[in-house]
Amino acid sequence: MALILKEYVFDRVESCGKKSPVRVILEELEKMSPCEGVNVKLNDYDWVLTVKSLGELRGFNVEEEGKEDGFIKLKVYNPCQ
């Protein structure tokens, strides 16, 4: 069971910052230990696809956990050893 250390909500209406939401999520995960992760809510389909493909490429587990208020919920975590 992954330990969720952070929760993010990236709303495409206003997520305008120096780093893309995908980069924010993946960089945070790289700082975490095995079995630690983040919950993320995204309402942008392209970002969801990218988190899944890049996350899995980098060895993270990405689980989709349904939708809420138009946001897709993801749990992304380092594999438990």
What residues make contact with other proteins under the rule CB under 8 A?
8-24, 43-46, 49-50, 53-54, 70
Minimal distance, residue 51 CB to other proteins, in Å: 9
Nearest to 43 by CA among 69, 22, 65, 23: 69
* Helix H or strand E encompassing 67: strand 61-68
Minimal distance, residue 47 CB to other proteins, in Å: 8
Cβ(29)–Cβ(76) under 8 Å?
Answer: yes
5 vs 8 by CB, closer to other proteins: 8
| 3-state percent helix, strand, coil for the chain, nearest multiple of 5 | 30, 35, 35
Minimal distance, residue 76 CB to other proteins, in Å: 14
66 vs 70 by CB, closer to other proteins: 70
